[in-house]
Amino acid sequence: MSLTKQQAQETQIMEGAVRTHDPSGRRQFFVSAGAFGAALAAPAAMAQAAASAPAPAPAPAPARKVLLKDDSRLLNIGATVRSGNYWNFSTFITPVEEFYVRNHYPTPMVEQRPVLDPRNWKMKIHGNAIERPIEITYDDLVKMPSRTIIATMECHGNGRSLFWEQQGQTQVAGGNWVLGAVGQAEWQYVPLSHIFGLVGLKKDAKSALFWSGVDGNDMGRPMPVSELIARGDDIGICFKMNGNDLLPDHGAPVRLIVPGWGGTASIKWLTEMRVDSHQHWVRLNTKGEVYIGPDYQAPAVGPTDEFIGGITPADVKGPMVTWMPIKSVITVPLVLDKSPSIPANYPLKRGELPKLPVGRQLVRGYAWAPQHGIRAVEYRVDGGPWQRAHIQGPNLGRYTWVRFDFMWDAPRGNHVIETRGIDTAGNMQPETVPLNILGMANGAIAKFKVQVV
Ligand X SMILES: Nc1nc2c(c(=O)[nH]1)N[C@H]1C(S)=C(S)[C@@H](COP(=O)(O)O)O[C@H]1N2
348 binds, among ligand X, Mo ion, none (CB under 5 to 8 A by kind): none
Q: Which residue is nearest to ligand X (CB)?
A: 263
Our finding on whether 406 is near ligand X (CB under 6 A) is: no
Residue closer to Mo ion by CB (options 264, 328) is 264
Our finding on whether 324 is near ligand X (CB under 6 A) is: no
Counts of helices then strands in the chain (DSSP H, E): 7, 26
267 binds, among ligand X, Mo ion, none (CB under 5 to 8 A by kind): ligand X
Return the SS3 of 286.
coil
Considering only residues 336 through 355, tell me which ones interact with ligand X, judged by CB under 6 A. none
Phi and psi based region of residue 37 (left: phi greater than 0; alpha: psi -120 to 50; beta: remaining): alpha
Q: Could you tell me how many residues of this chain bind ligand X (CB under 6 A)? A: 19
Alpha carbons 272 and 209: distance in angstroms, whole number = 8
One of 263, 309, 373, 421 touching ligand X (CB under 6 A): 263
Residue closer to ligand X by CB (options 111, 431) is 111
Residue closer to ligand X by CB (options 247, 437) is 247
Do β-strands 447-452 and 355-356 pair in parallel, antiparallel, or remain unpaired? Answer: parallel
Alpha carbons 10 and 281: distance in angstroms, whole number = 28
Our finding on whether 151 is near ligand X (CB under 6 A) is: no
One of 64, 65, 73, 104 touching ligand X (CB under 6 A): 104
Nearest to 204 by CA among 222, 220, 226: 226
CB of 221 to ligand X, least distance (A): 8
One of 103, 161, 169, 400 touching ligand X (CB under 6 A): 103
215 binds, among ligand X, Mo ion, none (CB under 5 to 8 A by kind): ligand X
One of 215, 272, 378, 423 touching ligand X (CB under 6 A): 215
Question: Is residue 381 within 8 Å of residue 416, measured between CB atoms?
Answer: yes
195 binds, among Mo ion, ligand X, none (CB under 5 to 8 A by kind): none
83 binds, among Mo ion, ligand X, none (CB under 5 to 8 A by kind): none
Residue closer to Mo ion by CB (options 191, 263) is 263
One of 17, 67, 75, 101 touching ligand X (CB under 6 A): 101
Our finding on whether 322 is near ligand X (CB under 6 A) is: no
For 19, phi then psi, to 5°, come to -115, 130
Nearest to 289 by CA among 231, 227, 219: 219
Return the SS3 of 51.
helix
CB of 84 to ligand X, least distance (A): 9
Our finding on whether 264 is near Mo ion (CB under 5 A) is: yes
One of 251, 259, 260, 263 touching Mo ion (CB under 5 A): 263
Our finding on whether 160 is near Mo ion (CB under 5 A) is: no
Our finding on whether 169 is near ligand X (CB under 6 A) is: no
Q: Could you tell me how many residues of this chain bind Mo ion (CB under 5 A)? A: 4
Alpha carbons 363 and 310: distance in angstroms, whole number = 49
Question: Is residue 31 within 8 Å of residue 37, measured between CB atoms?
Answer: yes
CB of 343 to ligand X, least distance (A): 17
Distances (CA, A) of 202 to 33, 133, 147: 52, 12, 25
Alpha carbons 423 and 28: distance in angstroms, whole number = 49
Do β-strands 447-452 and 413-423 pair in parallel, antiparallel, or remain unpaired? Answer: antiparallel
Residue closer to ligand X by CB (options 83, 419) is 83
Three-class DSSP labels, 156-200: CCCCHHHHHHCCCCCCCCCCCCCCCCEEEEEEEEEEHHHHHHHHC
Site of interaction with ligand X (CB under 6 A) = 99-104, 153, 155, 212, 215, 219, 250-251, 263-264, 266-269
The contact set with Mo ion (CB under 5 A) reads 102, 155, 263-264
